[in-house]
Structure 1
């Protein structure tokens, strides 16, 4: 048992020394949640009869943050199961409360407020977020994941 512990320590020290001997310009991979991989999307404003904005063109593998705000002019929801299934939702923040869901299908505002959704775009394709029951092109946010 002591031999295994000593071997593990020796291997750990060797790996540390090998990293320290590099030119110093190299950094270990930062990963998908690193600051250099994050982008902020324009805020989505929800108001009865008003355009939602867009379109968005997203890159697969990039970490995005979007604020969605309702002005309270009506009970407004956003559906987009196909879009939400094409991304990995990291968290949804509502009034300082963080929710880390396994996935989303839709969100709804019963009163004025803002939520922040952070996600990683995963599956390339054409998607949309829509206000349920609306038919106007302005009540839809077109999204492309490349």
Structure 2
């Protein structure tokens, strides 16, 4: 048994350095995170400035802020199916859902969605029922 444990330990030590780059938390480590601009929900104002580009395999945090000017939602089932949601934080409460289709704000507040970008492609988030270009943000996962 000692021989088997010794062989396993030596095998792990012999792995290339790239196998250890992410550290203990793996893909959820800080060394694997990317920057993402926030989204603002406000009546008559654009959601974001221009399109957003993300990299597949990186961890991101999307901050959505509603100013309370209206009851507004944000939908994007295609985008939400292309990511793995680690957690949603609302008023300091962490929720770890299986998935999302949309979120809605009845009043002013902030929500953070921590996710791992998975599936490359072109997606969008938008205010349901809206047709204006400023009420939609295009997201590309490369």
CA contact (8 A) 2:37 2:52 kept: no
Q: Pick from 112, 119, 122 the counterpart of residue 115 of structure 2.
A: 119
After the TM superposition, list the runs of 4 or more consecutive aligned residues in structure 1 that deviate by more than 6 angstroms.
none
Q: Partner of 1:32: helix, strand, or coil?
A: helix
Alignment of 1:1-146 (within 5 A): 4=1, 6-15=2-11, 26=17, 28-30=20-22, 31-53=26-48, 54-146=50-142
Give aligned pairs, total.
137
1:13-62 CA-to-partner distances (Å, cap 9, x unmatched) read: 5347657xx9xxx4723132121211231121110111011310111111
CA distance in 2, matches of 1:104, 1:17: 40
CA distance in 2, matches of 1:33, 1:142: 25
Unaligned runs of 5+ in 2: none
Is the radius of gyration larger for structure 1 or structure 2? 1
Q: TM-score, with normalisation over the residues of structure 1?
A: 0.85
Unaligned runs of 5+ in 1: none
